[in-house]
Amino acid sequence: MKAWWRRRSVRFRLALWYAAATALVLIAFAWFVYEVIEHRLAAEIDRQLRIDFDLIEPQLGVDPQGHVQWAVRGSHGDEGFARMSAWFEVWSENKELLLRHWPVPEANIKDILPPPQTSTLRFATIELERGLFVRVMERPGRVQGRSVVIRVFRDETEMRRTLREIVEVSALGFPLAGALAAIGGYVIATRSLAPLNAMARQARRITSESLSKRLPNPNPNDELGRLATVFNETLTRLEASFAELQRFTADASHELRSPLTALRAVGEVALRDGHDPTMLRETIGSMLEEAERLTDLVDALLTLARMDATTTGAAREEVNIPTLLEEIRDQFEVLAAEKSQTLAVSSDHNVAVQTDRTLLRLALVNLVHNAIQHSPSNSKISLAAVRRPRDVEISVSDSGQGIAPEYHEKIFEPFFRVDKARSRSGGGVGLGLAIAKRAIERNGGRILVESESNRGSVFRIELPSASQLPSMLSTI
Ligand code: ADP
């Protein structure tokens, strides 16, 4: 049943729910109406019985033989009618029938009614014969000083017919109302869900080639409209990611192609006119240089891909920052010395963070490498670490060519170089900062740049201090 129900369309299910709810409300309402009417009619019959009693009792008398007699007196004078319709019995206290006045021939009366049991006021409904129900009131009375029990009757047939008609009309009306509700529900559901079908049709048409398409959204304020808005926003983000991916692939192919083309060209020239050993040596040298560039590029791409692929948090260990900075200074000392640059390390005492050492080192190596590359000879490059209340800040500052503010965001994108030609000759492919940014973000930190053209640059890494880590971890 559950599986059957789930296989039905939403429209169908809504229509059924609608019909069921309507039927339930109608049944409850009809039941309420039935109860009220029944109560009112029963109360009316009982009121009539009391009136009958009050009319009959004073008109009873005893004839000289001691028999109880009914003498119709009154202002209306409609004796015949009163005689016809009055329906009562008079019983003595010792359960003896004193007078019976029924509107049916005496012969038809079967003695089915036992004598009154109590001498108190009592109402009851009895079935005289099949389908003939009467309401009975028994009440003690007096006939010329003699105590009797008077039993008054009223036919309930009319009341029962009215009630039966209510039931019949309801029984006929409910299926009709239910069917109408179901049809109405189906039509309403069809109309309300129509935008959903349009969305589904459009969504089916959206492929990786047509990510710019959007779902139709006739009314952004209703629930379906909000769904379409959220979906369209997701599509916008997907489109952006897709475009970024395509750009990345195109850039990567381009970057890979250049050294390969150079390798091929140099190789072909050497093959054609390579008779001179000195020239061949030079050719092999430049081929090796290109091969090295290729290796660096592929390494950087692999690093990026690995960082993007791992979704788990970085492995954390306690890293002593001054020690790490000194290690990096030692690593770059020779390179800096080639340009007569000095590398200075300054740090607060015992600054430590819980972080992935390899990733942090990778980021710092890229920053220091850039600083050396983009600073003039005889300049100073500073590495500093400061402990702040909530985090630790590590900065790499140089007094080099600087970066114009409009490039501050772009330099962290893969393959972006402020000055492509110049950077290529220096060997960079534009992946260093992209790698550094991802490495720091995977550690729960962030990387910022402060720089202006020809005023040097400061790259700041902010890493949460140990006590901030648990909350940071959950946001990675
Ligand atoms: P690259 O491999 O070219 O160094 P990066 O991603 O490391 O690539 O840097 C991107 C660009 O940002 C560089 O091409 C350079 O133009 C600029 N840049 C990075 N660091 C510095 C710096 N310290 N001073 C000036 N420009 C910089």
CA distance 444 to 473: 7
Listed in sequence order, the residues at least 6 apart from 436 whose beta carbon sits closer than 8 Å to its beta carbon are 362, 363, 364, 366, 367, 412, 447, 459
Q: What share of the chain is helix, strand, coil (3-state, %, to 5)?
A: 55, 20, 25
Helix (H, G, I), strand (E, B) or coil at 429: coil
pLDDT at 476: 36
CA of 369 to the centre of ligand 1 (A): 9
Which ranges of the chain have pLDDT less than 70?
73-84, 104-112, 118, 311-314, 420-427, 466-476
Residue holding tokens 């008077």? 150
Which atom of ligand 1 lies at the shortest distance from residue 401's CA?
25
Residue holding tokens 């329906």? 87
157 φ, ψ to 5°?
Answer: -55, -45
CA distance 242 to 217: 23
CA of 379 to the centre of ligand 1 (A): 17
- CA-nearest of 156, 103, 113 to 138 is 113
CA distance 269 to 261: 12
CA distance 388 to 392: 6
- Strands 380-387 and 342-347, how do they pair? parallel
Q: Is the pTM of this model over 0.85?
A: no
Closest residue by Cα to atom 12, ligand 1, is: 411
CA of 370 to the centre of ligand 1 (A): 6
What the block records as the tokens of 250 is 């195109």
CA of 437 to the centre of ligand 1 (A): 13
Which residues' Cβ are closer than 6 Å to ligand 1? 366, 370-371, 374, 398, 400-403, 411, 416-419, 423, 428-434, 457
| C-alpha distances in Å from residue 148, one per residue of 65, 68, 93, 98, 323 | 17, 10, 6, 9, 120
Amino acid at 216: P
Best residue among 251, 365, 366, 374 to mutate for probing ligand 1's pocket (most ligand atoms within 8 Å of CB) is 374
- Strands 97-101 and 457-464, how do they pair? unpaired
pLDDT at 289: 87
- CA-nearest of 373, 441, 361, 446 to 403 is 373
54-59-62 Cα angle (round to 5): 130
Closest residue by Cα to atom 2, ligand 1, is: 428
pLDDT at 428: 72
Rounded to an integer, what is the distance from CA 129 to the centroid of its chain? 64
Closest residue by Cα to atom 7, ligand 1, is: 432
CA of 250 to the centre of ligand 1 (A): 20
CA distance 29 to 421: 85
pLDDT at 311: 64
Over the range 273-306, which residues count as b (16 or more CB within 10 Å of their CB) and which as e? eeeeeeeeeebeeebeebeebbeebeebbebbee
